[in-house]
Structure 1
């Protein structure tokens, strides 16, 4: 029974050494008598017991390695502390096993040295504003150096860029001064814009007032011209009517009578409104005087006409 048990265990041990199952996410490096034989992909495989052995197992999934913080000096001699993450993947199991002792440690150290070198090419402000280009440069340099290791560096991400305490205080003061400067510039621009708007408003107001005055004077001039034209036309029509009336029989007598009445009326108004009398009161009786004179003139004119008629008949 003991011999059967030992034999059964021996058979199981041989079968265990004979069969190999490689998981989906791994590749196994097989050595035969200490020499590289092959790289087994995922699946079921047979090995020669006690001759073949699994020397290395590599995970073929993408790995994330943490790059510890390290001190760097920028182009403008500013001390920074930078850390990051490197993403890589095993592409060749043989090179990852025999090309380097520990590709993970080598990738982290290479990322640190490359990051220190790339940051030394940039100023402090560029390290913050050009982080994407910095990541691309680090990935390009690491991938070029890690090609013989059988791994592929997919990307690199900088997590933190931390300046020293003195630099942080200086940057805070600089940012405060910059914000104050921008605020003053904004206020100055606002005041300038307000003054421009006010001057434009005053200018427009003056233009509107002058245009209004101009239009008012034009309208007044047009109205005055029309008034003068109407008055002149009325006077001309009046004069024409007077001339027509004067040409009729008795026109001159009517005109003389009208003038006399107006003259006497005006003299009466002057004498009634004046505070001091400068003309004798008998002047108010000039109407009768002029009537008498008009009658005498009429009689004399009638005699003259009769005489002329007699002489013409003779």
Structure 2
């Protein structure tokens, strides 16, 4: 009798322990995969679930929420053979836990490799100047490519964002030199136009003025002479060389003589 009672209690304890061990709670936003004797059995949803003790095993529990995958800077070469580094961020989520586990060995590594390949392909079809202005186009191309490729993995790529496009340092130095040269060129053109406009205004004023043209032109040229020497003196690295005023007067006299000869038809 005692043996029967003992056996009954042992079975009761085993049943209690088994029922406790078979109860599994899955948190909201997550799912879990169950295998029975090494073979897929079912997917556990959020809440209280039961599995068969000693036979069933939870092999993977994963979040079904949107996740962020940071892609480290990668090297790429543009269509015009300029080397650059690009980094991106991928926003994705699992939509089929079974596929995500059984169809691909390492899900995150597979997504990263796919991003690397697609980035290099997109950049390789663009020239350097286009990569800066077409960032949105690159993002969309990446999204389309990734979304098509990952659907068989039970994954949905929500969006892709290029964080930075940066040419290598040698290219940056070259671009800075080109920019500096362009600025200097524009400044020279502006200065030349300014001088031409100044001369034109002086010429028109002399034609309309009743005062002696020589005196007016002498005053204006002297003013330009003083301004030029003042600007030259403001430079800390410049050497100040003043023009002989006598030479300036001689040049002025010759200029006025030629002007009179032209007006008299000589």
Q: Which moved more, 1:81-90 or 1:117-126?
A: 81-90
1:25-49 deviations in Å (ceiling 9; x for gaps): 2111122232222222211112222
CA distance in structure 2 between the partners assigned to 1:180 and 1:87 by the alignment? 45
CA, structure 1 residues 54+202, in 2 after alignment: closer, same or farther (shift >3 Å)? farther
Q: CA deviation at 1:146?
A: 0.9
Q: Does residue 45 in structure 1 map to residue 49 in structure 2?
A: yes
User: CA separation in 2, counterparts of 1:195 and 1:73?
Assistant: 51
Is the alpha carbon distance of 1:42 and 1:204 closer, same or farther for their aligned partners in structure 2, counting shifts above 3 Å? farther
Task: Report the equivalent of 2:92.
Answer: 88
Give 2:169's match in structure 1, choosing from 153, 165, 168. Answer: 165
Among 41, 46, 64, the alignment partner of 2:68 is 64
SS of the aligned residue for 1:75 comes to coil
Which secondary structure does the structure 2 equivalent of 1:28 belong to? strand
1:91 Cα deviation (Å)? 0.9
- TM-score, normalised with respect to structure 2: 0.66
User: Which of 149, 155, 164 is the equivalent residue of 1:151?
Assistant: 155
**Counterpart in 1 of 2:139?**
135
Map of 1:178 onto structure 2: 182
**Once superposed, what is the RMSD of the aligned Cα atoms?**
3.1
User: Structure 1: any 5+ residue segments left out of the alignment?
Assistant: 206-314
Question: Alignment partner of 2:105: what SS?
Answer: coil
Q: CA deviation at 1:87?
A: 1.3
1:7 deviates by: 7.7
Aligned residues: 205
Give the TM-score, by structure 1 length.
0.57
CA contact (8 A) 1:71 1:81 kept: yes
Higher helix content, 1 or 2: 1
Looking at CA atoms only, which structure, 1 or 2, has the larger radius of gyration? 1
Q: Deviations over 1:45-81 (max 9, x none)?
A: 1222222221211211111112122221110001112
Give the alignment partner of residue 122 of structure 1, picking from 117, 123, 126: 126
Uncovered stretches (5+) of structure 2, i.e. residues with no partner: 1-6, 210-266
SS at match of 1:50: coil
- 1:250-289 equivalences under 5 Å are none
